[in-house]
Structure 1
Amino acid sequence: MCGRLVVPNTLDELLSVFDAVGGDFHNWSPSWNIKPTQTIPVVIHSAKGTADTVRRVEPARWSLTPSWSKELKTKFPTFNARSEGITEKATWRGPVKTHRALIPATGYYEWQTDPATKKKTPFYIHSATDDVLALAGLYSWWKDPVKTAEDPTPWTLTATILTSGAVDELLHIHDRNPVPLPRDWWDDWLNPDLVGDQHFVDAAIQAALPVAARLDIVEVAPLPSGDDGADLIIPAAID
């Protein structure tokens, strides 16, 4: 599972890292505590208003809503997508084919539960070098059926993060982890001309294993729901 993201980068930094030309991303502020349904930056390669496809960084609602859904809010959580059997699920089948995204983040939070006391301890799992990770994701454009053609904002970009069974190095924290793709996979994952299937997803999972195995794990203090800032990733004082 991946339920809280850390994206401390500016838009210009993200554009540089992913060699993107831009996008309709305004008023972005770095954040150390992004929750599902909030706005995250996503990297996509698609056309928008022109015939040419380009790589862009766009704001997306972190929880994918299928294009055929009548409501933006889904009946079940969609901020993560299990990679196993992903093409068998109606929600993910279409996006896997051509609507794949990279989700920038330097890390994410995960909670370890003590089986005896049920106490949950948060950990910050992140790039050891603080480089931007490219988490494999999917996206979908959702059109509000209530809004008229004259409304300037009928469309909402939504996205999800793929997860796989946790690598051994992370298994003691949680049994699943997001899929951090190596740089040599970025182009293919974003390429809408490559039609994705289960074999393609499985290959991406295998390519991500060495990256996931190198992530650092740091225990941090409890995360207040509304707090934000770089102090949230400071290692907790251990008694």
Structure 2
Amino acid sequence: MCGRYVIARAVGDLVAELEAEAEASLELRASYNVAPTTDVPIVLERIIDGELHRQVHVAKWGLVPGWAKDPAVGVRAFNARSETVAEKPTFRTAFKSRRCGVPVQGYYEWKKSPDGKTKQPYFVHTADGSLITFAGLYEWWKDPAKEDGAPDQWLLSCTILTMASPPEGELATLHDRLPVPLSRESLAEWLDPENKETQPLLESALAQAWDLAGAWELDAVSAAVGNVRNDTPELIVPLT
């Protein structure tokens, strides 16, 4: 699964790395302890005036489907299982045409001690500090309680896809679920809103995921990350 992660890039750096565009007014809050229901950057593609545009937006982490009566349903939908994403009512519509990428600098996972009494947090990241982009979905939800045209009437939300962890290696001992990473090439395919062959698209992303994840590094870090109120760069400093 993926329930905590790091994204502290400045807007300009994020846009450059994702080869995207963003509104001049876009603001991002650097966070070393991102948790579900907070606002996070996502990258998506839209067709505007016949041309494809890759854009960075800010979305609430926890997908709220358009048919939901209450946005609180997003609290339980921050991850989507790749095995059932095409069938689950919460995700299946977005899976068809509203796919996004969720950029992170790394994510946290907790490993149980041999006696099962304690858990050690680990920071999972690339060796060179480059971005990881997870396969995600996004949705727009309209608040019926708000007046038409109100600036906060529409809520943009997102989720991160997960899959089974590799059968061997460090990640296998960390958790049985893995957020699905995308290569630069597979990101372009995943974001394309005109690509309706969703099952082959998903299978292609999953086929590459273990190889991509195999290059990640795992660092034991402070237990302070367990408290979401702690949000400083020191959280990702490896324990010595």
Q: Does TM-score exceed 0.5, indicating one fold?
A: yes
Distance 1:141 1:53, change over 3 A: farther
Provide the C-alpha distance between the structure 1 equivalents of 2:52 and 2:90, rounded to a whole number of angstroms.
24
Provide the C-alpha distance between the structure 2 equivalents of 1:143 and 1:36, rounded to a whole number of angstroms.
20
Map of 1:67 onto structure 2: 66
Q: Does the CA contact (< 8 Å) of 1:43 and 1:57 recur in 2?
A: yes
How many angstroms does 1:199 deviate by? 3.0
Map of 2:148 onto structure 1: 149
Q: Does the CA contact (< 8 Å) of 2:189 and 2:201 recur in 1?
A: no
Q: Give the AA of the match of 2:21.
A: V
Q: Does the CA contact (< 8 Å) of 2:44 and 2:55 recur in 1?
A: yes
How many angstroms does 1:150 deviate by? 3.6
When normalised by structure 1's length, the TM-score is: 0.93
Does residue 107 of structure 1 match 2:106? yes
Q: Deviations over 1:197-233 (max 9, x none)?
A: 3332122111222111111000001113201121100
Query: After superposition, where does 1:112-123 map in structure 2 within 5 Å?
Result: 112-114=111-113, 116-123=115-122
Q: Does the CA contact (< 8 Å) of 1:83 and 1:202 recur in 2?
A: no
Map of 2:231 onto structure 1: 228
Q: Give the AA of the match of 2:230.
A: D
Provide the C-alpha distance between the structure 2 equivalents of 1:6 and 1:42, rounded to a whole number of angstroms.
13
Provide the C-alpha distance between the structure 1 equivalents of 2:27 and 2:55, rounded to a whole number of angstroms.
16
Root mean square deviation, CA, Å? 1.7
Provide the C-alpha distance between the structure 1 equivalents of 2:173 and 2:153, rounded to a whole number of angstroms.
44
Query: After superposition, where does 1:20-31 map in structure 2 within 5 Å?
Result: 20-23=20-23, 26-31=26-31
Provide the C-alpha distance between the structure 2 equivalents of 1:24 and 1:100, rounded to a whole number of angstroms.
23
Distance 1:185 1:117, change over 3 A: closer
When normalised by structure 2's length, the TM-score is: 0.93
Q: Does the CA contact (< 8 Å) of 1:96 and 1:197 recur in 2?
A: yes
Q: Does the CA contact (< 8 Å) of 1:78 and 1:160 recur in 2?
A: yes
Q: Give the AA of the match of 1:173.
A: L
Provide the C-alpha distance between the structure 1 equivalents of 2:191 and 2:25, rounded to a whole number of angstroms.
19
How many angstroms does 1:76 deviate by? 6.3
Map of 1:177 onto structure 2: 178
Q: Does the CA contact (< 8 Å) of 2:4 and 2:34 recur in 1?
A: yes
Map of 1:208 onto structure 2: 209
Q: Does the CA contact (< 8 Å) of 1:162 and 1:178 recur in 2?
A: yes
Structure 1 range deviating more: 26-35 or 215-224: 26-35
Does residue 42 of structure 1 match 2:42? yes
Gaps of 5+ in 2: none
Does residue 97 of structure 1 match 2:96? yes
How many angstroms does 1:47 deviate by? 4.8
Q: Deviations over 1:118-163 (max 9, x none)?
A: 2111000111110011111010011111111141221111000000
Distance 1:20 1:124, change over 3 A: same
State the identity as a percent. 35
Q: Does the CA contact (< 8 Å) of 1:107 and 1:133 recur in 2?
A: yes
Q: Give the AA of the match of 2:53.
A: V
Gaps of 5+ in 1: none
How many angstroms does 1:116 deviate by? 2.0
Q: Give the AA of the match of 1:219.
A: A
Q: Deviations over 1:15-70 (max 9, x none)?
A: 1011112147633122110000001100011257x665411100000000101111
Question: What secondary structure does 1:61 align onto?
Answer: strand
Map of 2:193 onto structure 1: 192
Question: What secondary structure does 1:232 align onto?
Answer: helix
Q: Give the AA of the match of 1:2.
A: C
Provide the C-alpha distance between the structure 1 equivalents of 2:38 and 2:180, rounded to a whole number of angstroms.
20
Distance 1:51 1:70, change over 3 A: farther
